[in-house]
Amino acid sequence: MTMKISSSSSSMLSLLLVFLFVRLSFPAQAQTLTAKKPPVPALIAFGDSTLDSGNNNKLLTLLKCNFPPYGQDFIDRIPTGRFCNGKVPTDFFVASLGIKELLPASLDPKLKPEDLLTGVNFGSGASGYDPLTGKTASVLSLPDQIKMFKDYIENLKGIAGEERAAAIISDSIYISDVGIDDIINNYFALPIRRKQFDISSYTDFIVNLASEFYQELYSLGARKIGIVGLPPGGCFPSQRTIAGGITRECVELYNQAIRMFNSKLSKKVEMLGASLSNSKIIFIEVYNVFDDIIRRPSNYGFEVIDRGCCGTGKIEVAELCNPSTPVCEDVTKYVFWDSFHPTEKTYKILADYIIKNYLPKLL
């Protein structure tokens, strides 16, 4: 008995055969449509408001920003707790590595197991190397962040197993950005440390605390650590207002202290990198780049360097930059978002510089 095949059935059969031929002939075709495997499994961050992506939301502190106009240029205009109009540096870092789009806060209640596998952010706005800095602001000190990291490791073992968790911990990149609050909002703003130290001995004090922190991080398995130096905080709008005189100039005394700290920390980091085996520990210099932005703003597309976009821009930060506070018409013209924190555009410039010049050294 002969079976007749209709013309429509014949056409469908021909298409199916062509599809199968293509699949068998080009098995790797589907792979070209997928992203490359990230060079590291995760990115993990420690620090202050430069990196905080929402941890302070869960703390009893005034140093919060989980309300408008913060986040006005973030995804869906959501105020996540990032001290910015949009993304912060770690978001750009993790995206550039192809790990994920954003680095979530470790205290984010919406964290999923896959978030832990690819890294979280322990940063807390107003934290510092000096425990007194975080305590004064009622935020997470670096010892608090280390404790949370230890808990993170245990949770990671529960999700991935001990062997894979150990690999994730050792192969991941660690970024820290902390210390500006020690100098600006602790030493120069409060009397306690100034009674105990001159600025040279205080920078020695916090550099030694920094060394202890990174050695402990290493003891917990971290091997690829990028330590970001401090920017010229004396040029922050709030500091110009508080100590810059009638003309609101950059406060050179503060910048001198910051440069002293950066110099000492970079030398300490070099020593750590040489003494801790199988490690890549680097100091990430950003002072000069930020200083150049402030000195030659037009080269970067900026017009306003001495005020933030929020309110008058001279003093508003955190609760003082709130839903009732007006904002500038064009945030892209401003180096600073509020009186203490850069705009997303500024962060992107700094992040791109770090991505190009420093992240490859940690791979």
Does an H or E element contain 23, and which?
Answer: helix 7-25
Position 78 scores a pLDDT of 97
Distance from C-alpha of 128 to C-alpha of 265, rounded to nearest angstrom: 14
pLDDT of residue 250: 98
Is-contact 123 173, C-beta < 8 A?
Answer: no
pLDDT score recorded for residue 15? 41
Q: 27 burial class (0-12, 13-18, 19+ CB within 10 angstroms)?
A: exposed
Show the DSSP H helices in 131-235 as ranges.
131-137, 142-160, 162-171, 180-181, 191-196, 199-219
What is the CA angle 106-110-115, rounded to 5?
Answer: 60
Q: How high is the pLDDT of residue 17?
A: 39
| Structure confidence by residue, pLDDT tens digits, 178-209 | 999 999 999 999 999 999 999 999 999 999 99
* The predicted structure's pLDDT at residue 35: 52
In terms of phi and psi (left: phi > 0; alpha: psi -120 to 50; beta: otherwise), the region of 356 is alpha
Domains of the chain in start order, with CATH, are: 36-287 (3.40.50)
Note the pLDDT of residue 36. Answer: 80
**pLDDT digits over 143-188, tens only?**
999 999 999 999 999 999 999 999 999 999 999 999 999 999 999 9
Residue 108 sits at the vertex; the CA angle it makes with 107 and 114, to the nearest 5 degrees, is 105
Q: What DSSP assignment string belongs to 263-288?
A: HHHHHHHHHHHHHSTT-EEEEE--HH
Distance of CA 126 to the CA centre of its chain: 14
The one-letter amino acid at 336: F
Nearest one of 150, 53, 64, 164 to 110, comparing CA atoms: 53
Q: CA-to-CA distance for 29 and 352, rounded, in angstroms?
A: 32
**Catalytic positions:** 49, 338, 341
Each residue's pLDDT, cut to its tens digit, for the chain (363 residues) gives: 444 444 444 444 444 433 333 343 334 333 333 358 999 999 999 999 999 999 999 999 999 999 999 999 999 999 999 999 999 999 999 999 999 999 999 999 999 999 999 999 999 999 999 999 999 999 999 999 999 999 999 999 999 999 999 999 999 999 999 999 999 999 999 999 999 999 999 999 999 999 999 999 999 999 999 999 999 999 999 999 999 999 999 999 999 999 999 999 999 999 999 999 999 999 999 999 999 999 999 999 999 999 999 999 999 999 999 999 999 999 999 999 999 999 999 999 999 999 999 999 999
